[in-house]
Amino acid sequence: MWPMYDNIAFVRFRHATSKQAECVDCLMEHSEIFLLHTTSTNFEGYAWMRQAPSAILKLCLGKVCESLAYDGQQTQIRRSSRLLQLTKRIIPSDKRRYRSDNLRKSSLYSTD
């Protein structure tokens, strides 16, 4: 069961070696992501995202994301009205590897 609509959940995702951009794009397309962290050393990341029906998120599984994990017992974050949704427009699309200098400085996005 997903949290209340005003809350955002902490979701861990795993992706294949060359599928990071596609996995994140798919999650952005099917839910609202507010905060994002990806790594270059392993094939996973974390997203703070609004609830979405699991049937919708399953569209990303197996195709571009290897797994999605959510802990229903974990305390959720109440989303501030000032916290804006990340979009593909915010993240540059040079075959998006999510490693832009602009985004590294942003509090909405981080990489290792």
14-71: pLDDT as tens digits: 998 888 889 988 998 888 888 888 877 788 888 888 877 888 888 999 889 999 988 7
Domain ranges of the chain: 7-103
Q: Is the pLDDT of residue 96 over 60?
A: no
Give pLDDT, residue 65: 93
Question: Are the CB atoms for 27 and 49 separated by under 8 Å?
Answer: yes
Query: If one looks up domain 7-103 in CATH, what number appears?
Result: 3.30.70
Amino acid residing at 12: R
Question: Are the CB atoms for 8 and 50 separated by under 8 Å?
Answer: yes
Give pLDDT, residue 9: 80
Q: Is the pLDDT of residue 107 over 90?
A: no
pTM over 0.75: no
